[in-house]
């Protein structure tokens, strides 16, 4: 059965799916240039053999594969209205999904896609939900099940262009995500790294890069040179390793923990941890995607003057793939704080040692042993190394458990940090924001990365909702805005006010443009018309300070901020005791600010 306007010839089989492969080929070598993919990640192989428990003939199996190829051809040449033509990585992903569907169909005796009726699709969903995966019960996540259903639904939408496709809406009266069970609870959004964990990991990563990279790279260099010399002298592989270990033992080069790096295995492990530390700093302090970071090459840092100030700002130059029209990615720049510049320099030195006399410009490279070829680093590998590094440096636990890192989490964490407006919480970010603020506003930190702008806006809304809920429920608030809220929020407090408070927060987010921006000494319920700092769309970071905010009608301080005000008071009291009479007047005013704030937020809490 054909669709009403299905192709009448097989010309589509000779069309090119890539520069070197046609749709009729059983091996597609796709033009995928996204960083972090090796050669085998760019190939899609179509099975020639039947599944072992197949209930259809080989000819029927090949007809299914032909239909799948035609479906992908239709997406490439004439996608459904409103959809863009898929990129090579997307085409490969669709191909892998449809291959899994074909394998299931073969075992169920389904010889054509037109047999995928709603009831049959329901059986497929049940099978997919039971497959092993990374869900909460070790099965596929609902979002992954939704990807499979989206392939079937898209095939239905393309039915007029295909010889074989579902002819009845496979998800009538529903959506693919709804049928897959995707909801807020199961959406499996990428989490941000909790603040204490992020602080700990980035601080230790910075320590590795600044204080231990030189000795680690020296040990790797010694091992590589010794191996090459031994190999050139004709020593067998088993002996070369012994010779390298003896050289390392004699050199007695200390590792990050102070223990000498005397074995090839410990040297290689230290190099892996150093690479992960560099990635964490770049991802955590710049907010780039993993593919963008892995695309970085030698000389990735570019200095640009800041107006006529005589100063310069460092930028990371890398390739943006996801939103680029160029399949090879477009060159973009991201502002780079000094820790990131140090990390890139560290990677360049490490890569030069690993390459020796071979050519290459990539910074994130892998060498799986002496004499092994240089490979590009994959996203999966860098995620594994991040976890190994976190375990090696013993990062602080979260809720009693070791945090499971992934490369994507750093981007979300960066966005949340920007959205919160807290410029002082992460030790490794303090220098970054102080330097960058000379050049641009908060929205300028991410350059032309518009998707990150959207992510920041989403996190800003989440932060506003969370802060507003806390403020409305609190009995003890300081700051001019805080005192006003505490005087009239009785109906929002306690368990009785939970539902009212939740409804009010939803109303505020939906009907107003209110933004609450945090810092370590309070919340700014931002209203530009009365902001002492003079900010127009957000607090002015250049003029924002505890003293300025104390007199601002926008400030709210709650008991969780007491530590900052107590520490500020102690610090200024120590200065007052040894200051001149003239300076004491100013310090006494600051101490008074702290006393008034602490007295207000401790009135009800009794702390």
Residue 289 pLDDT > 90 = no
pLDDT tens-place string over residues 64-115: 999 999 999 999 999 998 888 888 989 999 999 999 999 999 999 999 999 9
- pLDDT for the residue 425: 36
pLDDT (average), residues 492-500:
76
State phi, psi for 33 to the nearest 5 degrees. Answer: -115, 5
Is residue 423 scored above 90 in pLDDT? no
Among the listed residues 390, 411, 380, the one whose alpha carbon sits nearest the alpha carbon of residue 205 = 390
Read off the tokens for 207.
């320590």
Report the candidate in 343, 339, 295, 337 with the shortest Cα–Cα distance to residue 317: 295
Q: Answer for the pair 354, 374: CB distance below 8 angstroms, yes or no.
A: yes
pLDDT at position 5 over 60: no
Q: Is 493 or 433 the better-scoring residue by pLDDT?
A: 493
pLDDT of residue 560: 84
pLDDT at residue 367 tops 50: yes
- pLDDT, tens digit (0-9, with 9 covering 90-100), for 550-569: 889 989 898 888 888 999 99
**Antiparallel, parallel or unpaired: β 555-556 and 522-525:** antiparallel
**8 pLDDT tier (thresholds 50, 70, 90):** low
Q: What local confidence, expressed as pLDDT, does residue 264 receive?
A: 92
Give the range with max mean pLDDT: 57-61, 188-192, 474-478, 489-493. 57-61
pLDDT score recorded for residue 606: 45
Give the H/E segment covering residue 505: helix 498-511
Tell me the two tokens of residue 565: 């005000």
Q: Is the pLDDT of residue 444 over 60?
A: no
> What is the pLDDT, as a whole number, of residue 269?
94
DSSP assignment of 455-495, as one string? HHHHHHHHHHHHHHHHHHH-S--BSHHHHHHHHH-GGGSTG
At 436 the pLDDT is: 35
Tell me: pLDDT of 451 over 60: no
The distance in angstroms from the start CA to the end CA of the chain is 77
Q: Which fold has domain 195-432?
A: hpI Integrase; Chain A (1.10.443)
As a whole number, mean pLDDT of residues 453-462 equals: 64
pLDDT at 137: 55
Highest mean pLDDT among 3-12, 133-142, 181-190, 573-582: 573-582
Please report the pLDDT score of residue 189 as a whole number.
Answer: 62
| DSSP-assigned states of every residue in 106-139 | HHTT---GGG--HHHHHHHHHHHHHSB-SSTTSB
Q: How confident is the model at residue 467 (pLDDT cuts 50, 70, 90)?
A: confident
pLDDT at position 607, please? 41
Share of the chain above pLDDT 70, in %: 85
- Identify the H or E element spanning 523: strand 522-525
Pick from 312, 295, 286: which is nearest to 449 by CA? Answer: 286
Q: Return d(Cα 605, Cα 607) in angstroms, integer.
A: 6
**In the chain, which segments carry CATH 1.10.443?**
195-432
Distance CA 308, CA 295 (A): 32
| pLDDT per position as a tens digit, 117-169 | 999 999 999 999 888 765 545 678 888 888 899 999 999 999 999 999 999 88
Predicted confidence at residue 330, as pLDDT, reads 84
Q: Which residue has the tokens 């602490």?
A: 598
d(CA 334, CA 261): 36
Least confident piece of the model among 479-488, 490-499, 561-570:
490-499
Average pLDDT of the segment spanning 412-429: 56
pLDDT (mean) for 322-328 = 76
Burial classification of residue 181, based on how many CB atoms lie within 10 Å of its CB (0-12 exposed, 13-18 middle, 19 or more buried):
middle
The whole-angstrom separation of Cα 542 and Cα 523 is 17
pLDDT at 62 over 90: yes
For 259-281, letters b (16+ CB in 10 Å) and e give eebbebebbbbbbbbbbbbbbbb
From the list 111, 62, 453, 506, the residue with the least C-alpha distance to 287 is: 453
Average pLDDT, the chain: 83
Mean pLDDT of 587-593: 91
Band the pLDDT of 449: cuts 50, 70, 90. Answer: low
Mean pLDDT of 230-249: 90
| Least trusted range by pLDDT, from 84-98, 333-347, 535-549 | 535-549
Residue found under tokens 């390298």: 244
Q: How distant, in Å, are the alpha carbons of 219, 262, 279, 367, 396 from that of 257? A: 14, 13, 20, 24, 17
Residue 427 pLDDT level (bands cut at 50, 70, 90): very low
- pLDDT at site 182: 60
pLDDT at 184 over 70: no
- Whether the pLDDT of residue 446 is over 50: the answer is no
Residue 296 has pLDDT above 50, yes or no: yes
Across the range 271-286, mean pLDDT stands at: 94
pLDDT of residue 571: 92
When pLDDT is averaged across residues 278-288 and rounded to a whole number, the result is 92
The β-bridge partners of 524 are 517, 555
Q: Which residues contact 442 (CB under 8 A, 6 or more apart)?
A: 418, 421, 538, 541
Predicted local distance difference test score (pLDDT) of residue 455: 60
Task: Give Cα separations from 492 to 300, 523, 541, 573, 600 (angstroms).
Answer: 52, 18, 32, 38, 20
Do residues 436 and 335 lie in contact, with contact meaning Cβ atoms separated by under 8 Å?
Answer: yes
- The pLDDT of residue 358: 67
Q: What is the pLDDT of residue 1?
A: 44
CA distance 345 to 340: 9
pLDDT band at 419 (very low <50, low <70, confident <90, very high): low
| More confidently predicted of 424 and 165 | 165
Buried b (16+ CB within 10 A) or exposed e, 64-90: bbbbbbbbbbbbbeebeeeeeebbbbe
- Evaluate if pTM is beyond 0.75: no
Copy the structure tokens of residue 495. Answer: 């368990």
């Amino acid at each position: 059965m054909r669709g009403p306007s299905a192709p009448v010839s097989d010309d589509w089989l000779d069309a090119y799916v890539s520069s070197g492969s046609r749709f009729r080929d059983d091996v597609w070598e796709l033009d995928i240039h996204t960083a972090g993919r090796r050669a085998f990640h760019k190939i899609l192989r179509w099975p020639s053999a039947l599944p072992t428990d197949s209930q259809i003939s080989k000819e029927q199996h090949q007809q299914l594969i032909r239909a799948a190829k035609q479906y992908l051809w239709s997406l490439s040449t004439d996608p459904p209205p409103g959809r863009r033509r898929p990129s090579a990585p997307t085409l490969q992903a669709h191909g892998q999904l449809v291959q899994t569907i074909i394998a299931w169909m073969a075992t169920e005796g389904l010889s054509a896609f037109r047999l995928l009726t709603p009831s049959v699709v329901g059986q497929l969903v049940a099978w997919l939900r039971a497959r092993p995966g990374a869900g909460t019960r070790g099965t596929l996540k609902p979002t992954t099940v939704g990807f499979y259903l989206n392939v079937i639904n898209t095939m239905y939408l393309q039915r007029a262009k295909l010889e074989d496709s579902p002819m009845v809406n496979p998800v009538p009266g529903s959506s693919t995500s709804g049928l897959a069970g995707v909801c807020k609870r199961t959406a499996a959004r990428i989490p941000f790294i909790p603040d204490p964990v992020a602080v700990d990991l980035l601080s230790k990563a910075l320590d590795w890069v600044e204080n231990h990279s030189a000795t680690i790279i020296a040990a790797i260099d010694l091992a590589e040179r010794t191996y090459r010399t031994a190999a050139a002298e004709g020593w067998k592989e088993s002996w070369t390793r012994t010779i390298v270990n003896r050289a390392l033992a004699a050199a007695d080069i200390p590792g990050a923990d102070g223990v000498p790096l005397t074995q090839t295995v410990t040297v290689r492990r230290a190099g892996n941890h150093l690479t992960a530390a560099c990635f964490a700093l770049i991802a955590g302090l710049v907010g780039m995607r993993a593919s963008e970071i892995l695309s970085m090459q030698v000389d990735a840092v570019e200095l640009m003057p800041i107006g006529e100030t005589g100063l310069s700002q460092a930028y990371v130059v890398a390739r943006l793939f996801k939103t680029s029209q160029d399949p090879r990615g477009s060159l973009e720049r991201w502002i780079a704080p000094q820790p990131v510049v140090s990390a890139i320099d560290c990677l360049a030195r490490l890569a030069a040692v690993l390459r020796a006399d071979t050519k290459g410009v990539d910074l994130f490279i892998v060498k799986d042993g002496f004499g092994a070829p240089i490979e590009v680093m994959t996203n999966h590998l860098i995620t594994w190394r991040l976890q190994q590094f976190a375990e090696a440096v013993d990062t602080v636990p979260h809720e009693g458990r070791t945090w499971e890192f992934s490369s994507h989490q750093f981007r979300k964490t960066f966005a949340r940090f920007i959205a919160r407006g807290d410029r002082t919480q992460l030790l490794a970010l303090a220098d970054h924001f102080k330097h960058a603020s000379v050049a641009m506003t908060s929205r300028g930190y991410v350059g032309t990365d518009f998707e990150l702008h959207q992510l920041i806006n989403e996190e800003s809304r989440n932060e506003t909702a969370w802060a507003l809920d806390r403020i409305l429920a609190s009995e003890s608030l300081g700051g001019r805005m805080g005192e006003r809220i505490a005087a009239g929020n009785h109906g929002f407090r306690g368990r009785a006010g939970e539902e009212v408070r939740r409804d009010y927060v939803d109303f505020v987010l939906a009907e107003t443009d209110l933004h609450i921006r945090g810092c370590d000494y309070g919340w700014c319920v931002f209203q530009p018309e009365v902001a002492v700092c003079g900010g127009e769309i957000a607090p002015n970071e250049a003029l924002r300070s505890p003293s300025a905010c104390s007199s601002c009608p926008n400030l709210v301080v709650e008991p969780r901020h007491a530590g900052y005000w107590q520490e500020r008071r102690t610090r200024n009291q120590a200065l007052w005791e040894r200051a001149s009479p003239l300076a004491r007047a100013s310090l006494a005013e600051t101490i008074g600010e702290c006393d008034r704030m602490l007295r207000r937020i401790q009135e009800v809490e009794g702390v």
